[in-house]
Amino acid sequence: MIKSNDRRKDSIRPDTRIVYRNMYQDRYILTNDTGPDMESYRIILADRSGRIYGENMSFSFMLDHDPHGLAEYEHTEGSFKELNPAYFERNTAVDGLIGQAVGDAFGVPVEFLSRKKVREVNLQDMAGCESGLSFESYWNNTIPAGAWSDDTSMAVAAMSSVTANNGKIDFDDVMKQFLNWWDRGQYTSLEFPFGLGGTVDKAFRRYRSGVPALECGGRDFKDNGNGALMRIFPFAVYCIQHELTEEETLEVIRKAGSLTHGHEISTLGCFIYTLFLDECIRLRSPDTAYFNVVKLKMPYYRSLFYKETMDAYDMLFNKITRTGFDPDAIPETGYVADCLTTAVYCILNTDNYEDAVKTAVGFGYDTDTNAAVTGSIAGALYGLSGIPERWLNVLEKKDELAEFAERFSKV
Ligand SMILES: [Mg+2]
């Protein structure tokens, strides 16, 4: 198996060079290698806009699979940075956290509505939960437009902890910050916390009664709500920025999830999310990311997780990209496997932030969390400029969120 550190040698860096382009100038061959022997280079393929759709290939492998052949290519010199200047300007922590918060806030007013009802409502803008809406909101009259919920609060609490600890993860302190959120109203979009999930509540009770932080997460099958996945984004960014190997990433993600959700099914969901986010950011191509992280790595996951755990993700592994797949086969629940499947489905079947998040909300029931998880990936993938301004303009504490993420990414 290729370790993620080895993999990164073949991925895009600021000094990645363009060595060939085809005569239509819509396909570029890039490499990080230097030296005279082009045949031994490991190459990366990119299109005109710098979207990567193949990497870590040899020249001969590429030529075997290219219908046109090298005759249509010519030597050229340049850098990937010239091809796609925006690639290195992104800040994943900021883009993803704002993407998560916007999705979360967009989904809040229709939380717990059925799929059928949500599609009837067909939300286009950030709505408040006032009465007089065309639908009855669960949060009747309590939550204004643009307010993000527990999902984003817990992600911000985790970010804040890591930032305060100078970039180190202290899981006990992360748990303390979670309690500061729920018990003291810190890290909230309004002046009060809202949206606490049942499994998270149980974990908080255990912690208050003296159970060590890493043992607080429920380990029953029924503890597999999406409450760890919805707040795992900061830890995913931590693993990506530190270029951890897959084994190290799994270790961090397992512990981060275990604060509230200790079952393997939740762990595997958070782990796949992290690797998928990583590939989406590097390749800017969700289809390739899905293939690399979900399809190719199935045997790897199988070697680490029980069969029942793998079976929980059957739809994600085997069904969502099949032709004729009916997305309504994904159940309307708050189950972690359904949430990840929804998020990946939405990313694969849209090509911009707004459509991804609207599609996620359209799955109904746990609309804010589905949209928060989808939004974190879509935000990181399309960047801050891809998020609709009319949504951003009403987001509560937008600047504070961006500052939180900025500080987090620096430590
Ligand atoms: Mg929520």
The pLDDT tens digits for 358-403 are 999 999 999 999 999 999 999 999 999 999 999 999 999 999 999 9
Q: How far is the CA of 41 from the centre of ligand 1 (A)?
A: 48
Q: How far is the CA of 130 from the centre of ligand 1 (A)?
A: 17
Taking every pair of Cα atoms in the chain, the longest distance, rounded to a whole number of angstroms, is: 71
The ranges assigned to domains in the chain are 4-87, 92-410
In whole angstroms, what is the distance from residue 377 CA to residue 237 CA?
11
Q: How far is CA 73 from CA 30, 314, 359, in A?
A: 12, 41, 40
Q: How far is the CA of 13 from the centre of ligand 1 (A)?
A: 36
pLDDT tens profile 79-104: 988 888 878 878 999 999 999 999 99
Q: What is the mean pLDDT of residues 311-331?
A: 97
In whole angstroms, what is the distance from residue 27 CA to residue 50 CA?
9
Q: How far is the CA of 378 from the centre of ligand 1 (A)?
A: 18
Residues making up the chain, counted from first to last: 411
Tokens 């255990």 -> residue: 206
* pLDDT value at 236 more than 90: yes
Q: How far is the CA of 236 from the centre of ligand 1 (A)?
A: 19
Q: How far is the CA of 237 from the centre of ligand 1 (A)?
A: 21
With H, G, I as helix, E, B as strand and everything else as coil, classify residue 77: strand
CB neighbour burial string for 269-305, b if at least 16 within 10 angstroms, e if fewer: bbbbbbbbbbbbbbbbbbebbbebbbeebeeebeeeb
Among 39, 36, 45, 38, residue whose Cα is nearest residue 10: 45
pLDDT of the residue at 3: 45
In whole angstroms, what is the distance from residue 17 CA to residue 27 CA?
14
Q: How far is the CA of 326 from the centre of ligand 1 (A)?
A: 26
Which two three-digit tokens encode residue 40? 């031994």
pLDDT of the residue at 4: 46
In whole angstroms, what is the distance from residue 230 CA to residue 228 CA?
5
Q: How far is the CA of 160 from the centre of ligand 1 (A)?
A: 19
Q: What is the mean pLDDT of residues 64-79?
A: 81
CA 374 to chain centre: 6
Q: How far is CA 109 from CA 106, 142, 316, 338, 342, in A?
A: 7, 10, 27, 20, 19
pTM over 0.85: yes
* pLDDT value at 9 more than 60: no
Question: Around Cβ 411, how many Cβ atoms within 10 Å?
Answer: 13
Q: How far is the CA of 150 from the centre of ligand 1 (A)?
A: 5
Strands 17-22, 52-58: pairing is unpaired
What one-character-per-residue DSSP string does 181-197 give? HHHH-TT-SSSS-----
* pLDDT value at 321 more than 90: yes
Q: How far is the CA of 391 from the centre of ligand 1 (A)?
A: 18
Q: How far is the CA of 149 from the centre of ligand 1 (A)?
A: 5
Q: How far is the CA of 287 from the centre of ligand 1 (A)?
A: 28
Query: What single letter denotes the amino acid at residue 132?
Result: G
Question: Around Cβ 375, how many Cβ atoms within 10 Å?
Answer: 36
Tokens 């967009």 -> residue: 106
Among 309, 233, 304, residue whose Cα is nearest residue 273: 233
Q: How far is the CA of 40 from the centre of ligand 1 (A)?
A: 51
Q: How far is the CA of 400 from the centre of ligand 1 (A)?
A: 19
Instruction: Return the CATH class of domain 92-410.
Output: mainly alpha
* pLDDT value at 2 more than 70: no
Q: How far is the CA of 116 from the centre of ligand 1 (A)?
A: 20
With H, G, I as helix, E, B as strand and everything else as coil, classify residue 22: strand
